[in-house]
Structure 1
Amino acid sequence: MPNLLSIPSKKDEVSEQEWQLRVDLAAAYRLVALYGWDDLVFTHISARIPGDEHHFLINPYGMMFEEITASSLVRIDQEGHKINPDDFDVNPAGFTIHSAIHAVREDAACVMHLHTMDGIAVSAQQEGLLPLSQQSLFALASMSYHDYEGVALREDEKARLQKDLGNANFMILRNHGLLTTGGSIADAFLSMFILQRSCEIQVRALAGNRPLTQVPQTIVDTMKQQAEQVTKGLGGNLAWPGLLRKLDRIDNSFRD
């Protein structure tokens, strides 16, 4: 896909570490579009830039996820100010949610928030995510919930969002969507893949209109340890190189 926006490359303007972060974050946006999880221009993935400045990268508001490149990502500070005034604007709701989490979770190098249909469907169900599949067990081992308060624009919602998330890495935003955090972009993406797949399975299982078997809580409680074994201790990095190769075969312009 040609880059119709013709955004100048930032590769020579940022550190090697920041550039790699930009490439990975742009890849995450492209993968969200590829899997059909995007919602036009209205959701967001952020990544913290290492250092004492507490800056992070987020998507330019108005660009489709399939258009996002490493150079188009916007660097902002903890107050939501663009570091480069020539960059695109950012989604104010995206800033509210992501800045709240980055402010209190040093381990959350990446925060991913999506509005998928199945994710929203499960978020509207009173019992939330149910232990119906193997995938759901990994999410339930570190799950939290946040009640809907309207579009996330108010400063006072941050404290409640932070409290509800706690130390969890998976969150269902009631009547709103899904959120995951990770120590890397790869970790946050793998967590979202697992959470989204869990919601898809739950919606299909409930639509079958047959009695369902739920996994006992005693097994759910063992899943954190089993996750380490499944990924060989690599977390999201087990699948991430293959996902990048997949994108490169389709369209490598995310690297621009």
Structure 2
Amino acid sequence: MKLETIPSLKGRVSDEEWQLRIDLAAAYRLIAYFGWDDTIFTHLSVRIPGPESHFLINPFGMFFDEITASSLVKIDLQGEKVDESVAMVNPAGFTIHSAIHEARKDAHCVIHTHTTAGVAVSAHAEGLLPISQQSLFPLASIAYHDYEGIAVRKDEKSRLVADLGSANYMILRNHGLLTCASTIPDTFLAMFILQRACEIQVTALAGNPPLTPVPQNIVDKIVSEGDMVTSNQGGLLAWPGFLRRLDRVNPGYNE
């Protein structure tokens, strides 16, 4: 699918859906900007408000730095297209996302990555370690799911959902990272923090030196302290800055 052949959907979808399209396209491009993409693989998805349980996801075959608001594809819980888009979709790639969206009504957005640092930490027997300030936020709401092969089998969904529980961060063993939240900005910021924590851990473990873990009593109170710093706004505070950066380095996501 060529970018120049994608018709604009502005004015053809609700204002609410159009804003979600803009934010999700921006999130895709930011994933590419930070080098967290895996060519055309992995996904970001967001639920469109309404009783239909429709979602937006990337057209299969487009690189993340090419995604636009109009190129995103509307799909159902089975990963099948529900609009007239000519884009290809990858229903198998939506397996993880559909499981979480269906089970967690609060998880309006789901981001899944295969970054080098994320996969490296997913292979660590002890998982994410409490060795940095960045690691403490995920550790307050972290879950793990053992590797079962490429996530294409429907029977894995129940086990993945059971492992996730009410957590907003998940490490998929030998596979990668996942975050979910009620908004795109919060989900993206959660991934930014988790990814940075993994990068720090990989660097800190280089050469196998002795490490200094953060005491558990500090781990237990870090989230409430962080909420005080951000006035409980989290991603909402950071998101406009991310968009300004995109406008400078890779504009066009909102087309």
TM-score bucket (shorter structure): over 0.9
CA distance in 2, matches of 1:228, 1:91: 37
CA distance in 2, matches of 1:100, 1:171: 13
Who is 1:119 aligned against?
Answer: 118
Following superposition, the deviation at residue 92 of structure 1 comes to 2.7
Equivalent pair of 2:73/2:85 in contact (CA under 8 Å): no
Mapping of residues 208-223 of structure 1, within 5 Å = 208-223=207-222
Who is 1:109 aligned against?
Answer: 108
* Structure 1 unmatched ranges of 5 or more: none
CA distance in 2, matches of 1:214, 1:241: 34
Mapping of residues 226-237 of structure 1, within 5 Å = 226-237=225-236
CA distance in 2, matches of 1:120, 1:41: 17
Equivalent pair of 1:123/1:175 in contact (CA under 8 Å): yes
Following superposition, the deviation at residue 208 of structure 1 comes to 4.0
Measured against aligned partners, the alpha-carbon deviations of 1:184-214 in whole angstroms (never above 9, x if no partner) come to 0000000000000000000000004321000
Following superposition, the deviation at residue 91 of structure 1 comes to 2.2
Structure 1 range deviating more: 211-220 or 78-87: 78-87
- The RMSD of aligned alpha carbons is 1.2
Give the letter aligned to residue 84 of structure 1: D
CA distance in 1, matches of 2:80, 2:36: 28
* Structure 2 unmatched ranges of 5 or more: none
CA distance in 1, matches of 2:63, 2:78: 24
Measured against aligned partners, the alpha-carbon deviations of 1:25-72 in whole angstroms (never above 9, x if no partner) come to 000000000000000000100001011111110111110001000000
Following superposition, the deviation at residue 79 of structure 1 comes to 2.1
Measured against aligned partners, the alpha-carbon deviations of 1:192-249 in whole angstroms (never above 9, x if no partner) come to 0000000000000000432100012222111221231132211201100011011111
Give the letter aligned to residue 241 of structure 1: P
Who is 1:161 aligned against?
Answer: 160
The size of the alignment, in residue pairs, is 254
Equivalent pair of 1:74/1:87 in contact (CA under 8 Å): no
Equivalent pair of 1:118/1:199 in contact (CA under 8 Å): yes
Give the letter aligned to residue 162 of structure 1: V
Who is 1:39 aligned against?
Answer: 38
CA distance in 2, matches of 1:217, 1:30: 36
CA distance in 2, matches of 1:227, 1:56: 31
Mapping of residues 81-120 of structure 1, within 5 Å = 81-120=80-119
Who is 1:244 aligned against?
Answer: 243
Following superposition, the deviation at residue 6 of structure 1 comes to 3.0
Following superposition, the deviation at residue 183 of structure 1 comes to 1.1
Structure 1 range deviating more: 216-225 or 194-203: 216-225
CA distance in 1, matches of 2:175, 2:76: 26
Give the letter aligned to residue 187 of structure 2: A
Give the letter aligned to residue 224 of structure 2: Q
Mapping of residues 1-256 of structure 1, within 5 Å = 4-256=3-255
How does the TM-score come out when normalised to structure 2?
A: 0.97
Equivalent pair of 1:46/1:58 in contact (CA under 8 Å): yes
Give the letter aligned to residue 149 of structure 1: E
Identical pairs, percent: 65
